[in-house]
Amino acid sequence: MKPKIIFIHGMFLNPKSWDAWVNFFEGQGYICEAPAWPLHDGEPSNLRSNIPAGLGELNLETLYTHYRGILRGCLKNNFKHLLVCTFRSTSGRSSACPPTPAV
């Protein structure tokens, strides 16, 4: 069974930044998900013109809790193998890391 791939975008992006990668890997038979950070979901042009209230207060603990819930949900739904890909918005580089068993 192929692993499920979770794509996590960086601070100044949203899930649309992963669209080409999601399409590519889904075409290869993988199940993919690119969940938005809190307050980052939607069309980028709309987000730029209507900045969500509370965006400036978003912190690392909120992000950790958000993505921990997503990863735990995957494990509860019998996805035993996950590949998590992240995009670091400050460096413009992507990286992949295996999840820890204690998600």
Task: Answer yes or no: is 103 within a domain.
Answer: no
Question: What pLDDT is recorded for position 87?
Answer: 66
Question: What pLDDT is recorded for position 54?
Answer: 83
Task: Answer yes or no: is 67 within a domain.
Answer: yes
Task: Answer yes or no: is 102 within a domain.
Answer: no
- The per-residue pLDDT for range 41-100, each reduced to its tens digit, is 888 888 888 887 888 888 888 888 888 888 888 877 776 677 777 765 544 444 444 444
Total structural domains within the chain: 1
Task: Answer yes or no: is 64 within a domain.
Answer: yes
Is pLDDT at 9 greater than 50 in this prediction?
yes
The dihedral region occupied by 56, where left means phi > 0, alpha psi between -120 and 50, and beta the remainder, is alpha
Task: Answer yes or no: is 20 within a domain.
Answer: yes
Going by C-beta distance under 8 Å and a sequence separation of 6 or more, which residues neighbour residue 13? 40, 87, 89
**Residue ranges making up the domain that contains 69:** 4-97
Is pLDDT at 26 greater than 90 in this prediction?
yes
Task: Answer yes or no: is 76 within a domain.
Answer: yes
